[in-house]
Amino acid sequence: MALGALLLAALVPLGLDSLSRTAAARTLPDQAQIIDQKSFAVLETVPPPSEANATTTFLWPGVTEDSLTAKPFHIYDDEFYDIIGENPTLTLIAETESDPVFHEAVVWYPPTDEVFFVQNAGAPAAGTGLNKSSIIEKISLADAAAVANGTAPGNITVTTVPSNPQVINPNGGTNYKGNIIFAGEGQGDDVAPALFLMNPVEPYNTTVLVNNYFGRQFNALNDVGVNPRNKDIYFTDPTYGYVQDFRPVPGLPNQVYRFNATTGAVTTVADGFIMPNGLTFSPSGEHVYIADTGANMGFFGWNFSNPSTIYRFDVEEDGTFTNRMTFAYVTAGVPDGVHCDSNGNVYAGCGDGVHVWNPSATLIGKIYLGTTTANFQFAGDGRMVIAAETKLFYVTLAAKGVALE
């Protein structure tokens, strides 16, 4: 016992010293700052829910909104150094005064090195008319890089994509066999929500993949992802069309579905959500992450006791979901778009920017914008585009997106 205790006493200081040297060897990038969570573990005054909730900005002693946005890469854990690399950059490449042009369905198309995205179908500034809410747009990443490098001034060109037939109220999007799938929310009583397959080059022709569940309209399709193992298409169906006043009273529960494009079969794979929203798979396809944004109930207002939560499921070999677990709860807004990098780290667009967790559900960092980020997407290795409603950002970092097939 005495010898063991002596050995342990000798080993522990060595281990701590080694960790200290490792941390000290890290060079803090110019645009990054370290967040000391101990600094706000105990506050002198903790305000009530009416003053501190999902719609407010948490400013702890010693920080301001300006200080948080001045260095936008926030390091909560040393693992985030590996995400951002030695010289991460965040560049505003386009903005509008109030119209939320840069909303959802951010998809990178490698052959032309362009990124597609869609406008907001529900915000009053956009309106719900199809001339505003069914607009697909794209940018050139070469143009984005030129602005980021300082070789081109001002906002980049945003090009409208004339889908044909028109994709109605697109919200989520993903790559699929050289094309793009958009999740359409539908419009009114007569235009049913649907999954649209669009050719990413002219003439941008579209095909409807599925628009009903055994003859019944979906509620308002929100996000879509393809499992890398079985290649089936999975999508979420909340009632945001209804609570944003452009869809009728729902006729189905808020559920997650699976579509087999070969057989045409549609099956329900998960329920129990208030508002199932963003969906993504781990690089291996063994896990799926689904955001529940039930705290935000559209024209019914906010219900802070509802989920603002990312759940993780295991994906079995047969494509079914098991072992639901709470992965993360978000306090800034709600977690909307969800994506993984090539190492399985999980990213979500939230009320103040993009939050990043490791696969063990530890919050390791944020790309802090100080404004709502509905969605974003990797564009291959070391590049990301973030859609923040009235602002569009281009990010360079060390992390890589999941390889596209």
**Spatial contact of 287 and 270, defined as CB atoms under 8 Å apart:** no
Q: Around 365, how many Cα atoms within 13 Å sit in the side-chain half-sphere? A: 22
**Spatial contact of 225 and 279, defined as CB atoms under 8 Å apart:** yes
**Spatial contact of 379 and 385, defined as CB atoms under 8 Å apart:** yes
Of 163, 400, 125, the closest CA to residue 283 belongs to 400
**Spatial contact of 247 and 220, defined as CB atoms under 8 Å apart:** yes
Is 314 within a domain?
A: yes
Of 373, 387, 353, 341, the closest CA to residue 144 belongs to 387
CA dihedral 224, 332, 377, 77 (to 10 degrees): -120
Is 309 within a domain?
A: yes
Q: At 384, which helix (H) or strand (E)?
A: strand 381-388
Is 23 within a domain?
A: no
Is 25 within a domain?
A: no
Q: Which tokens belong to 330?
A: 């978000």
**Spatial contact of 96 and 402, defined as CB atoms under 8 Å apart:** no
Cβ contacts of 259 within 8 Å, gap of 6 or more:
195, 209, 210, 232, 233, 234, 235, 265, 266
> Can you give the pLDDT of all 405 residues of the chain as single tens digits?
443 443 333 334 434 343 344 455 689 999 999 999 999 999 999 999 999 999 999 999 999 999 999 999 999 999 999 999 999 999 999 999 888 899 999 999 999 999 999 998 776 666 666 777 889 999 999 999 999 998 888 789 999 999 999 999 999 999 999 999 999 999 999 999 999 999 999 999 999 999 999 999 999 999 999 999 999 999 999 999 999 999 999 999 999 999 999 999 999 999 999 999 999 999 999 999 999 999 999 989 999 999 999 999 999 999 999 999 999 999 999 999 999 999 999 999 999 999 999 999 999 999 999 999 999 999 999 999 999 999 999 999 999 999 987
**Spatial contact of 373 and 336, defined as CB atoms under 8 Å apart:** yes
- The CATH code of the domain that includes 224 is 2.120.10.30
Q: Around 355, how many Cα atoms within 13 Å sit in the side-chain half-sphere? A: 27
First CA to last CA across the chain, in angstroms? 57
Is 22 within a domain?
A: no
Is 217 within a domain?
A: yes
Cβ contacts of 226 within 8 Å, gap of 6 or more:
174, 175, 176, 181, 232, 233, 234, 281
- 84: helix, coil or strand? helix
Cβ contacts of 212 within 8 Å, gap of 6 or more:
192, 218
**Spatial contact of 302 and 54, defined as CB atoms under 8 Å apart:** yes
Q: At 139, which helix (H) or strand (E)?
A: strand 136-140
Is 52 within a domain?
A: no
pLDDT at 128: 63
Is 171 within a domain?
A: yes
**Spatial contact of 167 and 134, defined as CB atoms under 8 Å apart:** yes
Domain extent at residue 322: 32-46+58-400
Cβ contacts of 30 within 8 Å, gap of 6 or more:
71, 87
What domain count does the chain have? 1
pLDDT at 125: 67
Of 243, 245, 235, 241, the closest CA to residue 210 belongs to 235
Q: At 19, which helix (H) or strand (E)?
A: helix 2-25
